[in-house]
Amino acid sequence: MDGVRYAVRCLPGFEPGQRPPKAVESAACRALQAELDPAAPLFSRSHGRGLIAAAVARPPVTRLGIDIEWIDPRRRMADIAAHYLGEAAEPTPEQFFRGWTFGEAWFKAFGVDPTPDLILIAGENVSAEPVQIGEAWLLQDLSEPGFALSLVWSVNSSSGA
């Protein structure tokens, strides 16, 4: 993960799972980004239900995206999965949110949705280590109970992860 740093924090004054005001979450994300590296040329941030996440990167990293989501088992996962994957999938909540956060992080990094096969791979990923997926690297972090986080980055083709 040369060139990439990320952090996750609880939003002060809120419990994970609560819905703080978006403006409060956004300001906290910007502050976390600045704490990581205010001069980093690449950054991405996300917030969800009382947790904030930010990632920063320097070359050889060329693209970066992060997403964090509260794993809400009441969400209409099968319907959403069918919309993106073109089939009536029945993912577990963890699979769904690993795929969902991957898709959001990929979009932030590349500006387009990932292909359905990559979403499926990400949903099945249980590694705590970076894995290559398509043209990028993926790190998924489930260390905060009840939340899923995906970090996606790509590097200059002449460099490694």
pLDDT digits (tens, 9 = 90+) for 20-41: 998 999 999 999 999 999 999 9
Cβ–Cβ under 8 Å, residues 6 and 143? no
Whether 161 shows a pLDDT value over 60: the answer reads no
| Helix or strand holding residue 42 (H, E) | strand 42-48
- What lies within 8 Å, CB to CB, of 95 at 6+ separation is 123, 124
Whether 160 shows a pLDDT value over 60: the answer reads no
| Helix or strand holding residue 51 (H, E) | strand 51-57
pLDDT computed for residue 72 by the predictor: 86
pLDDT computed for residue 158 by the predictor: 57
Give backbone dihedrals phi and psi of 91, rounded to 5 degrees, phi first.
-75, 155
- Report yes or no on whether pTM surpasses 0.95: no
pLDDT digits (tens, 9 = 90+) for 51-102: 999 999 999 999 999 999 999 888 888 788 777 776 656 778 888 899 999 9
Q: Choose between 117 and 137: higher pLDDT.
A: 137
pLDDT digits (tens, 9 = 90+) for 95-118: 889 999 999 999 999 999 999 889
pLDDT computed for residue 12 by the predictor: 85
How many other CB atoms are found less than 10 A from the CB of residue 59?
12
3-state SS assignment for residue 132: strand
The radius of gyration of the chain's CA atoms, rounded to the nearest angstrom, is 15
**Residue 14, token pair as written in the block:** 């809120």
